[in-house]
Amino acid sequence: MARKGAQASTADNNLPIDPETAKKLSHTLGITEAEVKEMLAAKGGQGPPSSSRRALQSSQPEPVQAKAPTMSAAWADFMDDDCADVDVNLGSGSKPSPSPAGNKENTTKPTAPKADPNAAYDLPIKSTLEECQGKAGVLAQTGTLEWDIVGRSRKTNAELGPLDICEPTILTPEVFQGELVAFVACAPTACHSIAVTEKGTPFGWGRNEASQLGHEDDVNITTPAKLSGPWGKKKIVAAAVGKSHTILVDEDGKAYGAGRNSEGQCGINTITEGNVTVFKPCKVGKDSKDCKFVKVSCGENFTVAIDEQGMMYTCGNSEYGTLGNGSTGERLVKANKISFNPSAKFVRRDQFVKRELNFKENEEPKHLDDSHRIRISQIACGKFHSVAIEAARPGHTSRVFSWGCGNYGSLGHKVQKDEYYPRLVETLTGPIFSSNQPVSVSCGSTCFIIKTAQGHCYYSGKHKTGGEAAMTPGLLDFLANNSHVVGPFGCGNAHVTLATTEGQTVTYGQGPHGELGFGVEGAKSSAAPKFIENMDGVDVVDVGCGYGHTLFVCKKGKAQGKLGVFEGEEGEEGGGKKAKKQKTS
């Protein structure tokens, strides 16, 4: 195609539009034929376009500007990258001019996809249980079952007892009565966990001092016990735990909370000094009464949920901006005492923002143009921060947002600054992610890991007490450079565990209670990633990292041949009972 000069004539801008060309461009761009004709009519000359400048400088492509006096950036990008064989001169049969000699940027760097802001998201969002269909297995744990001591004291090797598991071990298989486990729910500040079977049956165990497992007697539950509540016989499809509270979601999209509720983190529309000792139905804002929750995650004292339409809701404590509503709710209660206005019920949050990396201290963030339309598919919470991944839609790269406490690079924004709205993580945008999109996320206490579609992991923050923090997301190249593709993964209070698709499991960080899984005589910490030897060849389909323990859902087969078995004493629930360890031959 011959490029026009800067003084393109009016006649040039009003060439007849070939219907077939308009139709083809409409399909490729995802816009109407009328918009294509306007864009073609506005293609005035500006010399050879630069194919990738805009994609590298902007977190999301700008919409096409119709009737521009010169060639728009959107048009220039599209012409170089997507229409090399389309006859845009409407019958001339010519091709676009090659990039100028020496212009390597135009020939070697890909551009991000041209996003249509009105493109439909892939809805409805699947529940956690739906995403795990066909991937169920047996439950294994490494780390202590003596829940009283976690975070309070440590044992020497000589003091270890039958409740101290120092390598991955299958946990009380008889309790599940033949059902395989679909997924687990852990949190970096939680000493209790939830396992949900493929049939949607919930089991809980761990610390229960605030009745966070829905047991009124506040006695810790040593090994998995079946949970009951207002959901009756309905399936549980999502679950999450905070430091001292638990949220479960049933197949109708209704949520239930139990445990400490002093900040409204249970979402039951009331704030209580005492604990919520049995599971109670959660409440949502009056404008969202018909929402159907499908996923949930808990921070230390707040909760984030998403519904099947990808809308996001939060409740609980608002300090550090954890609710994503633009405020900490800070108020002076009395002299020298500050409080933070909590939200006692789930309220929808639909404001998403961006900042320039070199923004000024008091500069307000800019709300994204499509803020109200953004839908979320994945959510994870750390101690006081959250990270969300945008739902998939055709021709669009899913964006990553983070908010809350910004200490140690836990938000990935290069600075230690709290964010009160979900803010776009600029580092995770651009051409490199257009064909390798973010698909899953896990948060540690002050860090997060994003995994892409090709199994590459990007880490930001700090997961151990010593060392430097990663202030922006960086590739975990120790896996990528060795051709390892990451499957399930998790971040705990001070450790990270990743399982590969080839049956290896890697862990590193600090594990004073055996959560690294290196055995009784093995290391209790590791700065460098190390393979867990007795997990070699075991296919892991889910990983959960809690405080003082790590959980694995392993496919049947090799797991049962390689791992030991931890059996509780006789009893239907096994809650609070002593247990014995039985090693397989």
Would you give per-residue pLDDT tens digits along the chain (585 residues)?
A: 333 333 333 333 344 556 666 655 554 444 566 655 655 554 333 333 333 322 323 333 333 333 333 333 333 333 333 333 333 333 333 333 333 333 333 334 444 445 555 579 999 999 999 999 999 999 999 999 999 999 999 899 999 999 999 999 999 999 999 999 999 999 999 999 999 999 999 999 999 999 999 999 999 999 999 999 999 999 999 999 999 999 999 999 999 999 999 999 999 999 988 899 999 999 999 888 889 999 999 999 999 999 999 999 999 999 999 999 999 999 887 878 888 999 999 999 999 999 976 777 778 899 999 999 999 999 999 999 999 999 999 999 999 999 999 999 999 999 999 999 999 999 999 999 999 999 999 999 999 999 999 999 999 999 988 889 999 999 998 887 888 899 999 999 999 999 999 999 999 999 999 999 999 999 999 999 999 999 999 999 999 999 999 999 999 999 999 999 998 644 334 443 433 444 443
Q: Domain range for residue 77?
A: 12-108
Q: Do the domain assignments include residue 399?
A: no
Closest CA to 295 of 401, 399, 201, 375: 375
Q: Do the domain assignments include residue 90?
A: yes
- The domain total for the chain is 1
Asked whether the beta carbons of 446 and 461 are under 8 A apart, the reply is yes
Asked whether the beta carbons of 249 and 255 are under 8 A apart, the reply is yes
Asked whether the beta carbons of 385 and 298 are under 8 A apart, the reply is no
pLDDT of 31: 53
Q: Do the domain assignments include residue 81?
A: yes
What is residue 150's three-state secondary structure? coil
Q: Do the domain assignments include residue 428?
A: no
Question: Given the structure tokens 């008091």, which residue do they identify?
Answer: 362
Q: Which residues contact 290 (CB under 8 A, 6 or more apart)?
A: none
pLDDT of 465: 82
Q: Do the domain assignments include residue 477?
A: no
Separation of alpha carbons 559 and 140, rounded Å:
9
Q: Please tell me the pTM assigned to this model.
A: 0.78
For residue 104, the tally of other CB atoms under 10 A from its CB is 9
CA-based angle 147:151:156, to the nearest 5?
Answer: 80
Separation of alpha carbons 96 and 111, rounded Å:
17
Separation of alpha carbons 146 and 547, rounded Å:
12
> Which tokens sit at 298?
């808990």
For residue 157, the tally of other CB atoms under 10 A from its CB is 10
pLDDT of 359: 76
Q: Do the domain assignments include residue 344?
A: no
Closest CA to 205 of 254, 172, 250, 157: 172
CA-based angle 304:309:312, to the nearest 5?
Answer: 20
Q: Which residues of 345-366 are buried (b: 16+ CB within 10 A; e: fewer)?
A: bbbbbebbbbbeeeeeeeeebe
Q: Do the domain assignments include residue 356?
A: no
Q: Do the domain assignments include residue 421?
A: no
Residue type, 343: S
